[in-house]
Amino acid sequence: MLKNLKDWAKKIKVEADRVAFRYLKEETTTVTTRDQRPEDNFRGISEGVMVEVHKNGHVGYAATNNLEFESLQRAAEKAARQAEVLAERAVFKSELADRPVNKGEFVSPGFDVDSLSMKAINDVLIACDHSLKVSDKIISTTSNCWITDAQSIYICSLGSEIVQKYRFFSTGFMAIAQDGTVTQKRTNYGRNHSVQGGFENLSLDILKQRAELIGEQALELVSAEVCPTETTNLVLAPDQLMLQIHESIGHPLELDRILGDERNYAGSSFVRLSDFGQLRYGSPLMNIVFDPEEMGEFACYAFDDAGKKAEREFLIKDGLLVRGLGSTESIRRSGVPGVANFRATSWNRAPIDRMANINLLPGKSTREEIFSSIENGVYMESNSSWSIDDYRNKFQFSCEYGKLIENGKLTKTVRNPGYRGVTTPFWNNLKMIGNTDTYSYYGTPFCGKGEPNQIIRVGHGSPLCLFSNIEVFGGES
Amino acid sequence: MKKELFNRLCSDLFTQLSSNEHLSLEFRGEESFFLRFNHGKVRQNTEVIDGDLYFNLVADQRNINGKAPVTGNWETDAPRLRNFLQELQTTIKTLPLDPMSVKPQDFGKSSAEIKGKILSASEVADAIFTEVGDMDMTGIYAGGTLFRATANSVGTEHWFAVDNFNLDYSLISPSEKMAKGNFSGSEWQQKQFMLNRSNCQNQLAALERPVKKVTPGKYMTYLAPGAIHEIIGLMSYQGFSTKALKQRQSPWLRLVDGKAELSPRFTLRENFSLGLNTPFNELGETTQELLPLIEKGHLVDTLTNQRSAKEFSLPSNGADAHEMLRSPEILPGKLVAKEALGQMKEGLYLNQLHYLNWSEINAARFTGMTRYACFWVENGEWIAPIENLRFDDSVYEIFGSKLVDFTSQAETFTESTTYERRQLGGAKAPGALISEMHFKL
């Protein structure tokens, strides 16, 4: 395909300052089993090209899944026509420098190194279903595996030539337990465990162990007390902090939200452009990085869809906000330092500012030091419910699994734990941050944003963290 | 994509089947133009031609699903789709038995093409921006032709194509107050858009008063149809799924267990006569035009697809694979909207809600935020716009013990989401007066 695209780029006839092709092919296999039998076996292909034409200081986009030269020629003509007629109404003037010239390749761990038949995946997942069902009180078990091999090629008439190949790998489990009228659900870190990598992620022994723990914890939850409602110390596990980082740090730092692009859909941000370099976002323990270079984490890549080289950058340093999540276009529009995060969900969407891997760096405290410092508090794992306002201030999150912390020790399990707060007071209440032994990263393929709508893959790493003075609550059931 | 080509591709694939194999096919496609704008000017513009053929192959009690691109060109599509089917045929033989697999049935034939007048890229920009002037407007226009079609190896054939557009926008004041507007149809009428924009702008004027910070607590609340529409959207997610109810992950568990009640004023049904969605699902199975789900507070049905029907020994009612609402309607009540305000000595008037999620699904508890034009009310008058508030409440209260009534007028909302592609669907919702709603933050 690279050769075809290069040939077509030479042949294409359109009057423009720049023409680019962004090709994407994704081949997906998903297998879901429920109660030890197949629930869904799916094989899907998506393939197409976005043609991008820069003319009169504006960019026109036209996408097609017909990979014939004539189709791309027509798409280029449409994109050029859009740029011509809409340039004078554009919210900002595009510049050729918004698409830096780069050449390079990226290959994620696991890409094209191994494969497993759909039958073999079924066998593993059915075995995991068995492991989830630790008791007759487990009324339903579900296991799933989602593998996508993706290849993107970006060719730009300014000289860029970028090939990136990925294998995205997700595994998920769910056990539903019932005791009388109480029903509880426990999953794999809140939904799925998503990484870049190969079939080592489908290791039967490891997954069965994980599935058995999920089944046991579901069982534990149906006989647990409801989480108390009080203002107290809160310790969050990395699989919940993933969501906390995503919603209350990632989204509000997206420059396109701050510039107003998202106000009709995903929302705006409480962060102002003048806050960069000024705002005390959280406690001095807090260091947040944009890190597309963390190999294996779900949103690794070497170049974004503008062709910009992707590198690790501090967003928040010692609690101070220093950099936004915006790529070349947003950096120029805002005057704020940014990152390489101009990304499209697929070949049929124009790129916008997205998160990639946004990670909270580990500190120095051991797990024991964190828990032993707490007289009274609650520990929570794995997100089950999430909601935040359109300026990313007032949030409420619930978790699947909680434990009371009493006199420095984890004691009773509690069900339906939740907490609510406001973004910057919450992060300024960060009191202790775990060391590398407590650090893990997770990912999700379901970050939604943009008009037209786009979901995209993101990753978030975090250590165990202690927050003080947090409003926690339990449920009714 | 032309209907004739779709039928030809399907026929070609059906000839590749062995006698033990059964195939259902669904085509989803679009030829669309997206114009995204911010500050009343163009942010991004994209034309998309896209189409996918979805496969459901059943053989010897095994089942496999698939998706492959379709371009509308026979020479390109036919060999690629044959190869893809062959891959599924090879794989399915290796899979474990799936006792819930369902062979396709003949669900009949239908064909509908709704022609409209869709504006070109430059015409869209003229039509919107000339009217908006220098106002701060943010949102998206999405328009073009949408295709949905199904066929199976035992004779089902449904074809649906519609020219339509959806303009989803916000008007924003200099002090960042926002009002929501939506304008949709199959033919752009500039005068109607002027009226639509004008109604939206009128809300902005009321928002320019000083903002009131309302302390968390319990308040009488009027939920406008836009807010009720958001709640219907949440209820669609696991709310009426037979599978979710059987797995005891449903807001109606307490209702079924006799431990909670809904108001006799609450009736919700699927209503395909609204013309918002196709009456056939991805397997080509048609649904009755009116499907009552909650009638006068009683759960009378849930959404059951073919797999659930087999698993739980229930009749299928044509639900889709996810058993989600496709064309829901809450029936109006007797309350006149203006009089609802008059009943409030003190309380909240909420035009829209944002980011709803089940906070505890088995208790039907959900949380979310206020958004857009929301007001503090005293003695039946809007006094001041409010700072955003978070609520956490139960459906059993809002549509149960605390429901005063629904309004007599309902509004129709067309689906504006565009994940993967422009979507069909929508909902019809009245407003509602709630005697007490719980605000937490």
What's the DSSP call for residue A36?
Answer: T
Res. A191: pLDDT tops 90: no
Among residues A282, A283, A292, the alpha carbon closest in space to that of A313 is found at: A292
Using a CB-CB cut-off of 8 Å, the residues of chain A touching B95 are: 38, 41, 118-119, 122
Reduce the DSSP state of residue B37 to 3 states and report it.
strand
For chain B, 441 residues long, the average pLDDT of each consecutive 10-residue run is: 95 98 98 97 97 98 98 97 98 98 97 93 91 94 98 98 97 93 95 95 89 97 97 94 95 92 98 94 96 97 97 97 97 93 95 96 96 95 95 97 97 95 97 97 96
Q: One-letter amino acid identity for A403?
A: K
Nearest residue to A332 via CA among A306, A301, A358:
A306
Question: What's the confidence (pLDDT) of residue B338?
Answer: 85
pLDDT tens by residue, A303-358:
999 999 999 999 999 999 999 999 999 999 999 999 999 999 999 999 999 999 99
Of the candidates A51, A55, A57, the one whose C-alpha atom is nearest the C-alpha of residue A80 is A55
* CB A353, CB A344: distance < 8 Å: no
Which residues touch A109 (CB under 8 Å, ≥6 apart)?
A167, A196, A197, A198, A295, A296
Please give the backbone phi and psi of residue B41, each rounded to the nearest 5 degrees, phi first: -135, 165
Residues of B numbered 73-132 whose beta carbons fall under 8 angstroms of chain A's beta carbons: which are they?
A: 73, 76, 84, 87-88, 91-92, 94-100, 121-122, 125, 129
CB B275 within 8 A of CB B185: no
Q: What's the pLDDT score for residue A477?
A: 64
Distance CA A275, CA A321 (A): 7
Residue pair B368/B354 in contact (Cβ under 8 Å)? The answer is yes
Task: Please count the residues of chain A.
Answer: 477
Terminal C-alpha separation, chain A: 55
Q: Could A46 and B52 be called an inter-chain contact, meaning their C-beta atoms sit closer than 8 Å?
A: yes
d(CA A198, CA A114): 7
Contact with chain A for residue B135, Cβ under 8 A = no
- Judged by phi (left if over 0) then psi (alpha if -120 to 50, else beta), residue B411 lies in beta
Percent of the residues in chain A that have a pLDDT greater than 70, as a whole number = 100
CB atoms A477 and B359 under 8 Å? no
Structure tokens at B365: 């508890």
pTM: predicted TM-score of the whole model, two decimal places:
0.97
- Give B366's contacts (C-beta < 8 A, 6+ positions apart): B231, B234, B356, B357, B358, B359, B392, B393, B394, B395
pLDDT value at residue B206: 86
Question: Token pair for residue A244?
Answer: 């906390």
Of B279, B389, B359, nearest to B326 (Cα)?
Answer: B279
CA dihedral A132, A133, A137, A142 (to 10 degrees): 60
Cβ separation B257–A181 shorter than 8 A: yes
DSSP-derived letter for residue A224 is S
Q: Give me the interface pTM, i.e. the ipTM.
A: 0.96
B381 SS3 class: strand
The beta strand positions in B130-229, using DSSP E, are 136-152, 157-172, 178-185, 217-223
The closest alpha carbon to B141, from B205, B199, B72, B197, belongs to B197
Cβ <8 Å between B122 and A86: yes
Interatomic CA distance for residues A173 and A121, integer angstroms: 14
Mean pLDDT score of chain A, rounded to an integer? 97
Residues 6+ apart with CB under 8 A from B120: none
> By C-alpha distance, which of B116, B143, B123 is closest to B48?
B143
Pair B6, B159: CB distance under 8 Å: yes
- Inter-chain touch A85–B96, beta carbons under 8 Å: no
CA-based torsion, B221, B226, B231, B235: positive or negative: positive
> How far apart, in whole angstroms, are the C-alpha atoms of residue A21 and residue A51?
5
Residue A18 tokens read as 């720049």
**The token pair that represents A60 in the structure block:** 């026109």
A residues 77..96 contacting B (CB < 8 A) = 78-79, 81-82, 85-86, 89-91
Residues of A in contact with B51 (CB under 8 A): 65
Q: Does B356 touch chain A (CB under 8 A)?
A: yes
> Do residues A348 and A419 lie in contact, with contact meaning Cβ atoms separated by under 8 Å?
no
Average pLDDT over residues A152-174: 97
A452: Cβ contacts below 8 Å, ≥ 6 apart: A349, B34, B36, B46, B140, B142, B418, B422
The answer, yes or no, to whether residue A289 has pLDDT greater than 70, is yes
Other CB atoms within a 10 A radius of the CB of residue B119 amount to 18
Given this model, what pLDDT does residue B205 score? 86
Nearest to A401 by CA among A181, A208, A135, A220: A220
